[in-house]
């Protein structure tokens, strides 16, 4: 099981425990919420694409990565002159990839799909 899958299972388990804390003192609930939010927000993973200037096509960036990893990657020689966009959902990235490779893709629709993500500059 990959890290992000383990993290998802852990978060679900913590949320189940939270329901059992209904009658716990407020300090316990607050502390528990802090733990849950740490795991929930700590390593959000994104799926990235970049627009290649030589071929004017979108290319997938391997593997899910954190936002910080994408920002570091953007600064490297290979990506510094590209337009990079990341998506929270892999399905959003795949929809963009599929549509952009179709015959006569409409630029407005591509922009609409890109707006689902975050631009890394």
Q: How does pLDDT run across 62-73, given as a tens digit for each residue?
A: 988 888 889 999
Question: Pseudo-torsion of CA 56, 62, 66, 71, nearest 10°?
Answer: -40
Question: Pseudo-torsion of CA 53, 108, 94, 2, nearest 10°?
Answer: 80
> In terms of domains, do 62 and 107 share one?
yes
Q: pTM of the prediction?
A: 0.63
Q: What's residue 39's pLDDT?
A: 62
> In which domain, by residue range, is 38 found?
3-42
> In terms of domains, do 35 and 89 share one?
no
> In terms of domains, do 49 and 107 share one?
yes
> In terms of domains, do 72 and 29 share one?
no
Whole-angstrom Cα distance, residue 38 to residue 40? 5
CB-CB neighbours of 89 under 10 Å: 12
């Amino acid at each position: 099981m990959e890290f992000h899958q383990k993290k998802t299972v852990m978060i679900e388990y913590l949320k189940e425990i939270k329901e059992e804390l209904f009658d716990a003192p407020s300090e316990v609930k607050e502390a528990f919420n802090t733990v849950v939010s740490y795991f929930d927000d700590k390593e959000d993973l994104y799926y990235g694409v970049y627009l290649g200037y030589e071929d004017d096509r979108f290319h997938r960036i391997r593997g899910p990565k954190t936002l910080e990893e994408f920002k570091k990657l953007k600064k490297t020689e290979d990506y510094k002159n590209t337009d990079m966009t990341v998506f929270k959902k892999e399905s959003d990235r795949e929809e963009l990839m599929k549509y952009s490779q179709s015959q006569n893709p409409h630029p407005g629709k591509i922009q609409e799909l890109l707006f689902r993500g975050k631009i890394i500059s």
